[in-house]
Chain A
Amino acid sequence: MADHTDVLRGIQRAPHVRYPVLTPNMQGFQDAVAAGATEVAVFGSASETFSKKNINCSIDESMLRFEEVINTAKERQIPVRGYVSCALGCPHEGHMEPSKVSEVAKRLYEMGCYEISLGDTIGVGTPGSMFKMLQSVMKEVPAHALAVHCHDTYGQALPNILTALQMGVCVVDSAVAGLGGCPYAQGSSGNVSTEDILYMLHGMGIETGVNLAKVIEAGDFICNALRRKTNSKVAQARGRTL
C-alpha cells in the first residue's frame, strides 16, 4: 500500500461513491487528508495478544491513538469507521469472549465512529458464535451501526453473514474475487467474495444496487493482472446463471 497517495489521487471518483482509507494514527490521517481522503477507518482488536503482535501496542493504547484521529476527524467533518478484529476468534488466544468484542465496539462507537465493522479475522466463526457475539454487541451498539466482515477461511462466511442479516445487521464487507488470503492459515482463502454475497442477496430479493456482471468483470480484470484464479464460486460458474 506504499502508493497510497498516488492511488487516491489517480482514481476517478464516481459521484455518490465513498472511498474510505485506513489510518492507524495521526500521521496516517494527515497524509490521507492531504491526499484527498474524505472518509477514514481505524481498527481495534478484541484480542490483547493480537493487538500487541499486529500493531505493537495494547488495546487501550490503540484506543488512545484512535481517539486522537477521531477527534481531529470530527473537527474536519470526516466520518470515521471502526473495525474490530478477531471478533469470533484469535490466532493467538483462540476463543474470543463476546463481551470483549462488545467492549471494544462500544468504545469505538462512543468515541465517534459512525459504524463498527466486526471482523472474523481468521474465519473460524460459525452461525453459532456469530449469533452469540452479535447478541452481546447489540446490547452496546445499535444494529444499524454495525457491519460484518467475514472471512471465508473455513467456508463459513455466507452462513455467518446470513445469520447477521437475520439479526438486523445490514452492512456487509466483502472483496471482489475474494482477494486477500489468510496470513494465519497458509494457502487458505481470506475475504469472502463480493460476487458470491451479491448472488445470495439478490437471490433473497435484497437490493444492493450493485451490478453483479460488472463486479465479475472487475474480478476477471484483477485476477488476470495478478495471474491468479478467482476465489469466487459465482465467477467460476458464470455462464450458467438462470
Chain B
Amino acid sequence: MAAVMRIVNRSALHSAMGQKYVAYSSAAKVSAAGVRAGQALPEKVKIVEVGPRDGLQNEKTMVPTETKIHLINMLSATGLGVIEATSFVSPKWVPQMADQVEVMEGICRKPGVSYPVLTPNLKGFQAAVKAGASEVAIFGAASELFSKKNINCSVDESLQRFDEVMKAAKEAGVPVRGYVSCVLGCPYEGKVAPEKVAHVAKRLYSMGCYEISLGDTIGVGTPGSMSEMLEAVSREVPVNALAVHCHDTYGQALANILVALQMGISVVDSSVAGLGGCPYAQGASGNVATEDVVYMLHGLGIQTGVDLSKLMDAGAFICRTLNRKTSSKVAQATCKL
C-alpha cells in the first residue's frame, strides 16, 4: 500500500492572522487517496481500555485503591471487553501501582470481560497469577536507548527475560499480549526505523503473544509515519493480531487511528478521559481519550459494544476524584445533537 500522501504542492499559499489556507494538489495521488477514504473499514473494533493502568500510572496524583476499584467496576458496566487493571512491576519503580494485589482481588469481574495486567518478569507474573490475573502483558521497545533508559537493558535482553514469562504463561494457559513502545519515534533516538518495529513485533508474536500493541509512546507520529510503520509490521505479523496504542501529545492520535483502521487494524487502545500525561513533554497530554475514539468509531458506523454515556460517567468520576479536567473533547462538549 502506498503512503497516504506525498509531497506535491504547487498552488500559491495564503495566510493571515487567525486563519490559514493550505493548498495541495496531486491528481494521481488524489484518486488513489480517494479510494482510501471510501475503503471498507472493520465492522467491529475492540477497544482495550488502559486508563486504570497506563492512565493512572502516569497521573501525578496517587489514587486510593477503592477509587481504582470503583473506576474499573464502572468501566466494566460500559460494554468494554478489555480493561487493563494494574501492573505487577515492582512498587519501587511504579509506586502508583503498589496496590496491585488489592485491586485485582477487589474488582467485580464482569463475565466476558478481560482484565489483563502488566508483568515485567517471572516474579511479577507469578504474583499476578496468584492475585487472580487470567491475562498478562509484556513490553518491548523498538528503540535501544529507550529500552536501556526505561528498563535498564537492551531490547534483546528484555525479550530474553520475557521468554521465562512466556513459558510460564503457556503452561498456565494464560494469554499474553505484547506491547512495543516508541514505534513512531523515541524521546532519545528520534526517528525509529519501521523495520526495527517490525523486528520486535515479530519476535513478540513468534514468542507466543496473541496480539501486539504498537505504541506511539511520545505521540509524535502522523498518518504518514503510521502508514509506513504498519506496512512494515504487517509484513511480519498478521494484521488481525495487531493493535495501535496512540498518544495524543501532538493531537495526532485520532488521525493516526483512522489510518490504522483503513489499513485493517481493528484493535485500539485508549484511556478513559485521556488519563495519563506524557512523562517526556511536561504538561502535555498522553493517552488518547476513549470517549473521543468511541465517538469517531460510532460516527463511522463501526460497532464497539461501548455505551458512550456510561463511559463518560466513568470519566467524570475519575476526573472529579483526581481533581483534574478531562482530556476528552467529547466529554467537554455539552452541545446536544
A residues in contact (CB < 8 Å) with B: 11, 16-20, 89, 91, 94-95, 122-129, 131, 143-144, 147, 152-156, 158-159, 161-163, 165-168, 170-176, 179, 182, 184-189, 193-194, 196-197, 199-210, 215, 218, 232-234, 236-237, 239-242
Contact status B190-A199, CB under 8 Å? no
9-residue interface stretch from B71-79, B132-140, B214-222: B214-222
CB-CB contacts of B239-267 with A at 8 A, as 1s and 0s? Answer: 00000000011111011011100000000
User: Pick the contact of B17 from A189, A218, A242 — CB < 8 Å?
Assistant: A218
Q: Are B258 and A162 in contact (CB under 8 A)?
A: yes
Whether a CB of chain A sits under 8 angstroms from the CB of B323 is no
Interface centre among B7, B190, B249, B333 (most CB of A within 10 A): B333
A122-B191 Cα distance, complex, nearest whole Å: 36
Neighbouring B residues of A201 by C-beta, 8 Å: 22, 24
Distance in angstroms from B42 CB to nearest chain A CB is 13
Bound CA span A197–B223, Å: 12
Contact A154 B292 (CB under 8 A): yes
Residue B283 at the A interface, CB < 8 A? yes
Which among A128, A189, A207 is the interface contact of B24 at CB below 8 angstroms?
A207
Is B87's beta carbon under 8 Å from chain A?
no
- Cβ–Cβ contact A200 & B301, under 8 A: no
Q: A126-B296, A127-B300 are in contact. Are A210 and B15 (CB under 8 A)?
A: yes
**A residues in contact with B122, CB < 8 Å:** none
Q: Tell me whether B33 is interfacial, beta carbon within 8 Å.
A: yes
Known: A208-B23, A240-B280. 14 other contacts (CB 8 A): A128-B301, A153-B335, A154-B292, A154-B330, A158-B255, A162-B259, A168-B30, A172-B22, A185-B332, A188-B333, A196-B250, A199-B252, A203-B224, A240-B220
Residues of B within 8 A of A (CB): 3-9, 11-25, 30-31, 33-34, 36-38, 185, 187, 190-191, 218-225, 248-252, 254-255, 257-259, 278, 280-281, 283-285, 289, 292, 295-296, 298-301, 328-330, 332-335, 337
7 A-B residue contacts at CB 8 Å?
Answer: A16-B12, A124-B337, A126-B295, A158-B252, A167-B30, A204-B223, A210-B15
| Chain B proximity of A85: nearest CB distance (Å) | 14
Q: Are B224 and A234 in contact (CB under 8 A)?
A: no
Q: By the criterion CB–CB under 8 Å, are B330 and A155 in contact?
A: yes
Cβ-defined contact, A237 with B13, below 8 A: no
Given that A172-B21, A240-B281 are known contacts, is A189 also in contact with B332, CB under 8 Å in the complex?
yes
Which residues of chain A have C-beta atoms less than 8 A from B4's C-beta?
162, 166, 204
CA gap between A163 and B258 in the complex, in Å: 9
Q: In the bound complex, how far is the Cα of B39 from the Cα of A128, in angstroms?
A: 11
A227 → chain B closest CB, angstroms: 17
In the complex, A182 Cα to B329 Cα: how many Å? Answer: 12
Per a CB cutoff under 8 Å, which of A89, A158, A166, A182 touches B251? A158
A215 (CB) vs chain B CBs: closest residue: B20
